Amino acid sequence: MTGSSPVQLIRPKRFGDTRGWFTEVYSVPAFSALGIDCTFLQDNHSLSVPAFTLRGLHFQTPPRGQDKLVRCVRGAIFDVAVDIRKGSPTYGKWIGAELSAENGHQLFIPIGFAHGFLTLEDNCEVTYKCSDIYAPDSDGGIRWDDLAVGIDWPMPARTIPELSAKDAVQPLLADFDSPFPYDGRPLAPLA
């Protein structure tokens, strides 16, 4: 799908009645129709107890890169992808969307993008599919607050998010030598 944005916001349809609702969150034919043809090998599930917990910005380097399909199953998060593909005209640019249990939206983040999220409520649970298993030797990240990237995290002024020790000391984008090639698809606004 040359020309389409590599990061995609997926809005699964919900079918409801007096009992509640039903939705199909993943289907190979439906995702193939969107140009998403990866095979997912691992599912992850996280719980973040305090609001304004920030996880990211993470990625795995080749040959263990990971496409991710992220959704929030309890609470609400602001989910972000940062283009880290060498030679991309949108290198260092970011895109974000609110994912919540209420809206049911998902964000597809392909290899070549750093991923992170900020919880907007207490007790948020996030699940995501990955196209490769966790590989500690390929684990990487960049700073969540890198001014060169300039993510506008939706949190009150002077709030310091809850961070892991690892995320507090990730390198700046300027100190990162990207191994990810540009595939000809610049980052575009979410449709």
What is the number of structural domains in the chain? Answer: 1
Q: For residue 168, what is the enclosing H or E element?
A: helix 165-168
For residue 2, the model assigns a pLDDT of 38
For residue 117, the model assigns a pLDDT of 98
Is residue 1 assigned to a domain?
Answer: no
Is residue 18 assigned to a domain?
Answer: no
For residue 1, the model assigns a pLDDT of 32
Catalytic residue selected from 45, 128, 134, 182: 128
Is residue 68 assigned to a domain?
Answer: yes
Catalytic residue selected from 58, 91, 105, 115: 58
pTM: 0.95
Is residue 101 assigned to a domain?
Answer: yes
Q: For residue 146, what is the enclosing H or E element?
A: none
Is residue 156 assigned to a domain?
Answer: yes
Is residue 141 assigned to a domain?
Answer: yes
**Tokens 């209420």 found at:** 102
**Tokens 């009150």 found at:** 156
Query: pLDDT tens, 79-118?
Result: 999 999 999 999 999 999 999 999 999 999 999 999 999 9
Q: Give me the domain span that covers residue 164.
A: 8-13+33-175
Mean pLDDT for the stretch of residues 115-135: 98
Answer yes or no: 134 catalytic: no
For residue 55, the model assigns a pLDDT of 98
Answer yes or no: 58 catalytic: yes
Query: pLDDT tens, 1-51?
Result: 334 789 999 999 999 999 999 999 999 999 999 999 999 999 999 999 999
Is residue 91 assigned to a domain?
Answer: yes
Contacts of 174 (CB under 8 A, 6+ apart): 148
**Tokens 């060498």 found at:** 86
Summary mean pLDDT of the chain: 95
Q: Exposed, middle or buried: residue 40 (CB in 10 Å: 0-12, 13-18, 19+)? A: middle
Is residue 61 assigned to a domain?
Answer: yes
Rounded Cα distance between 54 and 57, Å, is 9
Q: For residue 29, what is the enclosing H or E element?
A: helix 28-33
Structure tokens at 113: 């993008």
Q: The domain spanning residue 169 has which CATH number?
A: 2.60.120.10
Rounded Cα distance between 102 and 98, Å, is 10
